[in-house]
Structure 1
């Protein structure tokens, strides 16, 4: 019998093209980077219960994400992706991070990121995860925040880690990015399914672990109006699962990503800062909202950031920073002559797919 291949749907072709393109842009460093945290900062954050406390944010130098398919993510190109990682080097970095100095700002929350999934055993072996938890527990930290794709957040992975943390609260960040399957699995191109996300939420709830959900504002190939709709629908989905807070992440454009290639070709712009404000205002009533403001300040590495006009850009970013601490909408600016008229529009998925395939045709690696 002759096998007749089944023609891929437009969405499947788009997903395959974006996956291939994204992976083709990943680059291992020419030489191994030192085993030192690549980023450390201090700030104050508002918890879901309204408390504002100090946070130390650390990004460890690691072997990077084991599933680096996202169209906008620059982090794989900033670590030792493609090179053999030493698990003990992660423990050494954590030990140094936890050694407090007299001039260090006070903090109760330690956000410890590894440019990937903390609970993926290919990235951090299970025994090393537990060793890190014990180190954190002994350091007097009140809360630990890590990140992971949801497929690695299971009762099996969480139980020994939570036990080793003892009285330290655990918050696990998950980049859901969008509740819409097309936006999440194709345009963002993340390997996150709704089923895996909902299973992870259940597992965290059973062990008293707090979920921290990231949603993107204007992933590649969406318009400003579509982006607002996507945020509102995604917040509603998250709230329906009983999760009270979300972190909104305005998309930035960084080198060696699909988003960067699209931007260079004139087919993508990061969200206008007024789109960010509008998304926050519309999400505010449904959930406790924070904005990932590092994506607006441009303080870690070269990127094209969300912007508006010179008259209001700094004012908007300052307002979003304050709002993320206070949760008070009055901290957000009201208007500017540059503010565009923004009305959300429905996500017309077939139209988005067709439009995206047309844009990618001359740019992305071809698919069989």
Structure 2
């Protein structure tokens, strides 16, 4: 990085830390034997449609967010954690309690294990807990797919080998937040803290053990205009597929508490992406990546002011189309969408201020 870029990076890191403030000290105490969240939805599993159990373990939290680097500019998932080190036996119990949600469901089933950071981080999830959780998954023959979230630095040969050994021949994916294929956007706008080459190394390490990569792509990081966000997401999806990602998960930004994005949003310097933008990204990317790479999207807070939204009148139809597309990969669901707000969206794409970064830097002032 050059001097100007380093200066911007320092400003954004300090602003992220300021936005987070003392929020970590206010994490609510929770029952350490219960997961932070769990839910079951219909999901595309390979070429089939089945059920996915998503589990968010309550851990000590993301190491990147707890560090002096300040964490990602849009993320406050660390506040869903326990705010303390969680004993191995409690993490195992959390997972066992969540597994009861699978009672009565038929195959194929996908189990997605999330934390507020990285499941493969040995500080956040001790290796003993990780191994026992994977063994519990392996005991259920209905489970065809397993998704584990992690930052790239924790995807080592040793870890990948252990995961593959325990889970046998199941389909395994490591969910990693690439967010943007542009190092400048990822470092400055998102404060992610790793390079594209580091992501690629982790992807190749996983692939060498027959483990796929579910690449998370962020739609509209702060400081990007709507048009820039659309183009950046499209380019990132194509780049991730070319690198060898097996699934692309498109994630529109939602405004979370105690984040830099919320500070900007509350001061009128940020708007979550339009649903028009999201559907355009999904439609265009589906035509440009190989058919065996699934492109999925499950937008958080969709249709609400803090999430991806249009005018309010058409939001439900757009969200329904996005979720149906994620199940069957057919862009036909988008062809029937129409609303008078499309002209406003088009105007934004053409005329939004391209000096947004300069103006938005006022956010760091108290």
Pairwise TM-score range, normalised by the shorter structure: 0.7 to 0.9
Q: Aligned-residue CA RMSD in angstroms?
A: 2.4
1:231/1:283 contact within 8 Å kept: no
Q: Give the equivalent residue in structure 1 for 2:346.
A: 341
Give runs of aligned pairs for residues 179-198 of structure 1, distance below 5 A.
Answer: 179-198=181-200
Instruction: Find 1:22's aligned residue among 16, 27, 45.
Output: 16
Distance apart, 1:78 and its partner CA: 2.1
Identify which range, 286-295 or 157-166, moves more after superposition.
Answer: 286-295
Distance apart, 1:227 and its partner CA: 0.6
Identify which range, 10-19 or 94-103, moves more after superposition.
Answer: 94-103
Report the CA distance shift for 1:186/1:171 in structure 2 as closer, same or farther (over 3 A).
same
2:296/2:326 contact within 8 Å kept: yes
Report the CA distance shift for 1:342/1:167 in structure 2 as closer, same or farther (over 3 A).
farther
Q: Which has the higher contact order (CA 8 A, sep 6+)?
A: 1
Instruction: Find 2:38's aligned residue among 37, 40, 54.
Output: 40
Distance apart, 1:236 and its partner CA: 2.0
Q: Give the equivalent residue in structure 2 for 1:84.
A: 85
Separation in 2 of the partners of 1:296 and 1:105?
29
Separation in 2 of the partners of 1:342 and 1:133?
50
Residues 301-337 of structure 1: CA distance to partner in whole angstroms, max 9, x if unpaired? xx71111123211110111111111111111243211
Structure 2 gap ranges (5+): 66-70
SS of structure 2 residue aligned to 1:53: strand
2:214/2:246 contact within 8 Å kept: no
More helix by share: 2
Q: Give the equivalent residue in structure 2 for 1:4.
A: none
Q: Give the equivalent residue in structure 1 for 2:62.
A: 65
Give runs of aligned pairs for residues 244-259 of structure 1, distance below 5 A.
Answer: 244-259=246-261
Q: Give the equivalent residue in structure 1 for 2:364.
A: 364
Instruction: Find 1:290's aligned residue among 296, 304, 315.
Output: 296
Distance apart, 1:106 and its partner CA: 6.4
Report the CA distance shift for 1:295/1:157 in structure 2 as closer, same or farther (over 3 A).
farther
Distance apart, 1:19 and its partner CA: 1.6
Report the CA distance shift for 1:204/1:40 in structure 2 as closer, same or farther (over 3 A).
same
Identify which range, 125-134 or 211-220, moves more after superposition.
Answer: 125-134
Q: Give the equivalent residue in structure 2 for 1:320.
A: 322
Q: Give the equivalent residue in structure 2 for 1:306.
A: 308
Distance apart, 1:193 and its partner CA: 1.2
Aligned residues: 347
Residues 46-96 of structure 1: CA distance to partner in whole angstroms, max 9, x if unpaired? 24x432121111111111101011000120122223x23223211111122
Distance apart, 1:31 and its partner CA: 4.8
**TM-score normalised according to structure 2 size:** 0.87
Distance apart, 1:104 and its partner CA: 6.0
**TM-score normalised according to structure 1 size:** 0.87
Residues 189-225 of structure 1: CA distance to partner in whole angstroms, max 9, x if unpaired? 1122112111111111111111101101111111110
Report the CA distance shift for 1:193/1:139 in structure 2 as closer, same or farther (over 3 A).
same
